[in-house]
Amino acid sequence: MSVRIPFAGLVFLPLLTGCSSQQSAFHPTGHDAERINILFWVMTAGGAAIFVLVLVLAAIAIFGPDRLRQRLAGESLINWLGIGFPVVVLTALLVYGFVLLQAGAPVNAGNTSLRIAVSGEQWWWRVTYRTADGREVEAANEIHLPVGQPVTLELTTADVIHSFWAPSIAGKLDMIPGRTNQMTVTATSPGITRGQCAEYCGGAHAFMAFHVVAQAPEAFEAWLDRESTAASPPQNASQERGENLFLASGCGGCHTVRGTGADGKIGPDLTHVGGRHSLAAATLPNSAEAFADFIVNNQHIKPENRMPPYGVFSEEQLDDLAAYLEGLR
């Protein structure tokens, strides 16, 4: 059995290469993640080289000619390879790691023109963009970043400890009650990657994910301009019925849709929910079917989330609600 387990590991290892690069520290698209990736490969290569050296020495000690075996057993070799070598190598790696990851440097670069407040909530992310000109735009479950510009993330929590981890962008940082933890991140190339809560925070912890959308600065500005506008009005009769139903059913008690009477603060802001890359904190795709599904089955999809399941709507009403929400782009 003890032989089979590592063997099985080796068999399955190639399968891991099929893992998506969407949420991977091996495909860095941010400054910090690039440094972490370099450190990982330096450590892995160094560890592999030392492992091979140890195997070779062990093979010589067991099978080698007497002359070599006697040298291996000598005290000087033990002093050099057993004490001197580890001290030098580990000290060098430690210093290298400190320098590479800029240990001791302020985590917050200070006056970045864009600050994004991210609040972890069971089990989603409240995301508020604060620009240098005083704009404040609330959204959810998606972090948009202008490529090449340092952005300060202000990490807080509304309830328990969460941990913000976008592995393609940077390392993880906990969100701790009563504290604001800051980190400055810089996206280095455009694209959509995925992040995940990295601290167990209750039953639906695994369903607390998000997307990072890194955009060219002009595209980011255009997106933020659009995001700061009120919701687009219904475009057809179905969406209009959906809006009326949304407002009449009390959805606005928890959700905000700017430009309508819905101004609840408990759940995610839905003003532009139809334009996001996922629903329910990267748990569902963004589609009319997923909206309808979540309204009815949300306690099955994300158990114990704060939204009650709404089984009261007819098929037609659900279609109208879904059409309305999907149209909020």
- Give the span between the Cα atoms of 60 and 71, in whole angstroms: 10
Shortest Cβ 306–ligand CUA spacing (Å): 14
- Give the span between the Cα atoms of 238 and 317, in whole angstroms: 9
Interface segment toward ligand CUA; rule CB under 6 A; list 39-47, 194-202, 214-222, 241-249: 194-202
Shortest Cβ 31–ligand CUA spacing (Å): 25
- Give the span between the Cα atoms of 36 and 173, in whole angstroms: 14
146 counts as binding ligand CUA under rule CB under 6 A? no
Shortest Cβ 203–ligand CUA spacing (Å): 10
126 counts as binding ligand CUA under rule CB under 6 A? no
Interface segment toward ligand CUA; rule CB under 6 A; list 129-137, 183-191, 192-200, 264-272: 192-200
74 or 303: CB nearest ligand CUA: 303
200 counts as binding ligand CUA under rule CB under 6 A? yes
Read out DSSP for 200-266? --STTGGG-EEEEEEE-HHHHHHHHHHHTSPPPPP-SHHHHHHHHHHHHTTGGGT-B-TTSS-B--S
Residues 300-319 close enough to bind ligand CUA by CB under 6 A: none
Interface segment toward ligand CUA; rule CB under 6 A; list 92-100, 201-209, 252-260, 272-280: 201-209
Among 28, 114, 115, 120, binds ligand CUA (CB under 6 A): 120
Interface segment toward ligand CUA; rule CB under 6 A; list 70-78, 187-195, 198-206, 230-238: 198-206
Instruction: Decide: 183 and 268 in contact? Cβ < 8 Å.
Output: no
Among residues 136, 214, 110, the alpha carbon closest in space to that of 128 is found at 136
Shortest Cβ 159–ligand CUA spacing (Å): 9
Q: Is 184 helix (H, G, I), strand (E, B) or coil?
A: strand
Among 27, 31, 172, 205, binds ligand CUA (CB under 6 A): 205
Half-sphere exposure of 87 (CA within 13 A, CB side): 7
Among 199, 243, 293, 319, binds ligand CUA (CB under 6 A): 199
Kindly list the strands in the beta sheet with 173-175, ordered across the sheet, starting from the edge strand earlier in the chain: 142-146, 209-215, 191-197, 162-165, 173-175
Among 115, 126, 144, 162, binds ligand CUA (CB under 6 A): 162
Instruction: Decide: 157 and 164 in contact? Cβ < 8 Å.
Output: no
Binding interface with ligand CUA (CB under 6 A):
120, 123, 162, 197, 199-201, 205, 208
